[in-house]
Amino acid sequence: MTELSRFLTRDGRWIAGGFLLCFFSSFGQTFFIALSNAEIRAAFDLSHGDFGVLYMVATLGSAATLPFLGGLLDRHSIVKVAIGVMVMLALACLALPLAGSIVFLVLSLYLLRLFGQGMMTEIAHTAIGKWFVASRGRAISISTLGQHVGTAIFPFLFVAASAVFGWRGAWMAGAAVMLALALPLIGGLVRRERDPLTAEPLSPNKAPVRDWSRREVLLDPKFYAALIGVLAPPFIGTTIFFHQVYLTELKGWPLEVFALGFTVMSLATVASTLVAGSLVDRYTSVRLLPSFLVPLGIACFIAAWGTGVWAIFVFMALLGLSMGLSSTLVGSLWPELYGAAHLGAIRSIVISSAVLATAVGPGITGYLIDHDVPYESQLAAMGVYSLIAAVVMLGLSRRIVSQQVAHAH
């Protein structure tokens, strides 16, 4: 039996719980909501721009609310919060197809974003961060795959359900799936908490960390230095995906070939996610902190200046590499730096900031495009930012490691 199979056999229930939380967060992710884009716009007589503004308002609202809900994970059991969130996500899935006004539509989108993209992933990463220490990297990397599997499976399922029940019926079926399948499965898996100190020996690389309060973290300059790098992938990735049709038009790339690039990206993301898990457990997230920004920067330069069809697959592979590394590294980073006692409150600030980045990225770049700032120049600027951020992360990593070594002695 391999080390990975022993790990999954021993801790499978908690890993599966985190995986399914990420998997079912799909109902609130942009890729899933966008499957009903045309039908929603037709139902409410909205232009692309109109719906984009409403979606941004809903997303910004969820980002503003998330810090108030994240602290619940530090005061209540994981299973109690998870059940409440899954019930609310099911209600949001039911509310969207029943929306009869613009106000109700925005409220439905807000609830989907808050309890789907926001709280479902918040619970998954916070729970894994609290439950695992020595093997935290592998645990986060495997549970994070749930979101990638959801991205691969749910569009097919939604299209099939829509063909039978219509788009409104497909959303109602999603609500039923949340209540009848996700809730009992996840509730049963995470009902019992895992104590990492009795379940596994502490790695010598991961000495006990003092538990910081959210207030202390918000006063720590290292937190904001880390955000310089942490927020780059969601900002840049969402921007590229949002303007993908415009990019293909600029480059003269066939859209169907560009779509194949997503397969390459997904494979690179999964592979790098799993590799990153083992590397984090061996070296810690802090030591690996700059690594995810270098491929992101190169991807931006290739997207900006590459002209041949080959560029699609190279920059998509690099983008997937960066996303896989960042999802694991960032998931492990905060408990390494600030402990686990207030992890829910701390992570809620990080996730809220990431949601904000995904909301403003397409808007800022779209505004610049409308004002004749070349998109290729914008992509190159993102590449420069990524490399500068990598240098900042390198300095931050060395500073933290030196402090940890000095403290240990």
Q: Could you tell me which residues come within 8 angstroms of residue 240 by beta carbon, excluding any fewer than 6 positions away?
A: 247, 303, 319, 379
What pLDDT is attached to residue 199?
54
Is 291 in contact with 232 (CB distance < 8 Å)? Answer: no
What pLDDT is attached to residue 406?
67
What is the C-alpha to C-alpha distance for residues 21 and 119, in angstroms, rounded to an integer?
Answer: 9
Domain 203-409, second-level architecture: Up-down Bundle (1.20)
Structure tokens at 229: 């790098």
CA 279 to chain centre: 20
For residue 32, CA distances in Å to 86, 164, 308 come to: 17, 18, 30
Taking the CA atoms of 289, 294, 299 and 300 in sequence, report the sign of the dihedral they define.
positive
Q: Could you tell me which residues come within 8 angstroms of residue 239 by beta carbon, excluding any fewer than 6 positions away?
A: 361, 362, 365, 382
Q: What is the DSSP letter of 202?
A: P
Within 13 Å of residue 369, how many CA atoms lie on the same side as its CB?
A: 16
What pLDDT is attached to residue 102?
94
What pLDDT is attached to residue 86?
97
Place of tokens 């929603």: 40
Nearest to 281 by CA among 128, 166, 395: 128
Is 34 in contact with 55 (CB distance < 8 Å)? Answer: no
Tens digit of pLDDT at every position of the chain (409 positions): 566 666 667 777 888 999 999 999 999 988 788 788 888 889 999 887 788 788 888 988 998 898 888 888 888 888 999 999 999 999 999 999 999 899 999 999 999 999 998 899 989 988 888 887 777 778 888 888 898 888 878 888 888 899 999 999 999 999 999 999 999 999 999 888 776 656 565 555 555 678 888 899 999 999 999 999 999 998 898 888 778 778 888 899 887 788 788 888 888 988 998 888 888 888 888 888 888 999 999 999 999 999 889 999 999 999 999 998 988 888 888 888 888 788 888 888 888 888 888 878 877 888 788 888 899 999 999 999 999 999 999 999 999 888 777 665 5
Indicate the class that CATH gives domain 10-192. mainly alpha
What is the C-alpha to C-alpha distance for residues 258 and 315, in angstroms, rounded to an integer?
Answer: 11
What is the C-alpha to C-alpha distance for residues 144 and 271, in angstroms, rounded to an integer?
Answer: 12
What pLDDT is attached to residue 116?
93
What is the C-alpha to C-alpha distance for residues 225 and 230, in angstroms, rounded to an integer?
Answer: 9
Q: Could you tell me which residues come within 8 angstroms of residue 82 by beta carbon, excluding any fewer than 6 positions away?
A: 21, 123, 186, 187, 190
What pLDDT is attached to residue 351?
84
Within 13 Å of residue 331, how many CA atoms lie on the same side as its CB?
A: 37
User: Where exactly does CATH 1.20.1250.20 map onto the chain?
Assistant: 10-192, 203-409
Length of the chain: 409
Structure tokens at 55: 């979606």
What pLDDT is attached to residue 33?
86
Measured from the Cβ of residue 6, the count of other Cβ atoms closer than 10 Å reads 10
What is the C-alpha to C-alpha distance for residues 236 and 357, in angstroms, rounded to an integer?
Answer: 9
What is the C-alpha to C-alpha distance for residues 112 and 119, in angstroms, rounded to an integer?
Answer: 10
